[in-house]
Structure 1
């Protein structure tokens, strides 16, 4: 609940219309989040090969991007496998991506999958937001 209030306040102070999770009409919004995981590692999140942030456990990252086909990638180190997720973004829409670390005997991977709005909003209530990132062009 605190996370949702904080995000609403940040959008209001940033000149937003106060409506939670509403991207600008010419942009699409992507929200990537991880729930609390025991001993989870942080992963770099890239959008179209450009680093957005490092995403630890129990955090969410949101970004507004130009509509179109985008590649989201999780990257860590030599002992981890990079994971890619491709999305076709429509203007004015919000997309939710859940990330979960999978640990195998020799490797680790941050798996990512699109999630329904209803499930994501329930799970995001317990997740803290990272600093908001806005106006990231998906074509850079």
Structure 2
């Protein structure tokens, strides 16, 4: 009886937890985040040439995407250089992208870097999500 209950609990729990960086759906998940930066500005994030949202410091954006080639771009204003990162998204996988603001004498940009799940999960602790508008 105890063994039967343990097996049922194991099956239940194994369905709730996945290997880091995995999702259950046929979609891919993108988590794009910024850690706290001194005086950092807010940037617009576009995914496949569509506005995803605005990303200030110490926040993250999370979105489910169809599998395939994904273009992620940061933009701000005429003084800012747009940066682009391409990801070949696989269904059921989670992709972490860290955004880092780089300020130069005459320009600034938001660099986009793919990060491993272990480092991203450590850095995401204490970072709050950005509320995205609900699709119609």
TM-score under structure 2 length normalisation: 0.81
SS in 2 for 1:29: strand
Contact 1:85 1:113 in 2 (8 A): yes
- Runs (5+) with no aligned partner, structure 2: 1-14
Report how many residues are paired. 119
Distance 1:118 1:56 in 2: 23
Larger RCO: Structure 1 or Structure 2 (Cα < 8 Å, ≥ 6 residues apart)? 1
Deviation of the 1:130 alpha carbon? 1.1
Q: Which structure has the larger Rg over C-alpha atoms?
A: 2
TM-score under structure 1 length normalisation: 0.79
Distance 2:70 2:108 in 1: 24
SS in 2 for 1:30: strand
Structure-2 change in CA distance of 1:111 and 1:78 (3 Å): same
Residue 74 of structure 1 is matched in structure 2 by: 74
Deviation of the 1:131 alpha carbon? 1.8
- Runs (5+) with no aligned partner, structure 1: 1-16, 136-140
